[in-house]
Structure 1
């Protein structure tokens, strides 16, 4: 059985709004296929659903559940005046970003609504009641230091032993990109609870090496 993205869903991933290069998406898809048979996967940072298609494609292929958390008001870099602002995603009446309708349409067109469940809210709020062990956590939310660290603090300890932590936009050099995701990666490695695995582009994967889901990871 091939582990590659199926052509129909790859076309939807390419068409979806978002910033994930195709090789990183294929890497995320492969990691999800490995882990989803063992338990649900959680994405932090939905935006318009490009990465959710790669995750959902894995769920369609091997079974399992993908959940994706986002408040859908856009990260700091998505706001007006910032580099990644898209005016078409602003609610005219409210004057606020609203990526949820675009995400829902993206998911419906890809036929993945039964495989990917949206959780609408801030990750810090969701983390307060989260109790489900996870086979994979993908951190790709706000890239400010406080938000990236909160995403790790809120959900990394719910990864089951042998499970996978994936962090996007990891740049070691400040001139290549923001440092918060790199600091989260360093924190995970320094904790002793995670061991680095593969890297593709700016995406890095780590494996949880011990403890039980829910135990502190540092």
Structure 2
């Protein structure tokens, strides 16, 4: 099977967008979306400012699919004031809270992906409780501490269709490289036997559903 090519203008838009997705991992995300988006819609948990949604949206366009990206847009723990990844330009001073939604909307509009990328604004676990559509691909990249990443996995992984993909970002086997909560959940997934790993690019892991349950 030939490897899809991400259009140059969309790749450049993704590179310019605010966010934390390295380009090599973003391209892997695009290729995964182009492949698995043919099996159902794509869901992203953790939108932030839309950088990864451009890679996903470009893949969804090639697959004839869509991306539903879920985020409360108030920021995960690591981007709050006083934390290393905090961006003061995203503060809504009227409420004293982070608000990445306006920047996300501008990012997706500028990339020309408003038809492919659909924003759902709300807590991941509350949205998951209402969700019923089988997913061709699920990308988990929301909060990176134990509770949110566990809730994201338990709430959304059951919706991944047989043969669909579950993708994790920021998987660091060595604690010196990054936080361990996503890695522990990733290990739990592999131990369950419901998914097998099919791709590894940087901190990105792509798993394919091969059995029932999530473990």
TM over 0.5: yes
Alignment correspondent of 2:142:
141
TM-score by length of 1: 0.96
1-structure distance, mates of 2:5, 2:87:
31
Structure 1: runs of 5 or more not aligned: none
SS of residue matched to 1:164: strand
Q: Hey, what does 2:56 align to over in structure 1?
A: 55
Partner of 1:217: 214
User: Does structure 1 residue 195 correspond to structure 2 residue 167?
Assistant: no
Query: Which residue of the partner structure matches residue 164 of structure 2?
Result: 163
How far apart, CA to CA, are the structure 1 residues paired with 2:30 and 2:175? Answer: 28
What is residue 118 of structure 2 aligned with on the other side?
117
In the alignment, structure 2 segments of 5+ residues that lack a partner are none
Question: TM-score when scaled to structure 2?
Answer: 0.97
Describe the SS at the equivalent of 1:171: coil
Shift of 1:173: 1.2
Distance 2:47 2:203 in 1: 18
Once the two structures are superposed, the pairs formed by residues 34-183 of structure 1 within 5 Å of their partners are 34-183=35-184
- Deviation of residue 2 (structure 1)? 5.9
Q: Secondary structure at the match of 2:118?
A: strand
SS of the counterpart of 2:133? coil
- Which moves more between the two structures, 67-76 or 1-10? 1-10
RMSD: 1.0
Deviation of 1:62 (Å): 2.3
- SS of alignment partner, residue 164 of structure 2: strand
Looking at structure 2, the residues matched to 24 and 152 of structure 1 have their Cα atoms a distance apart, in angstroms, of 20
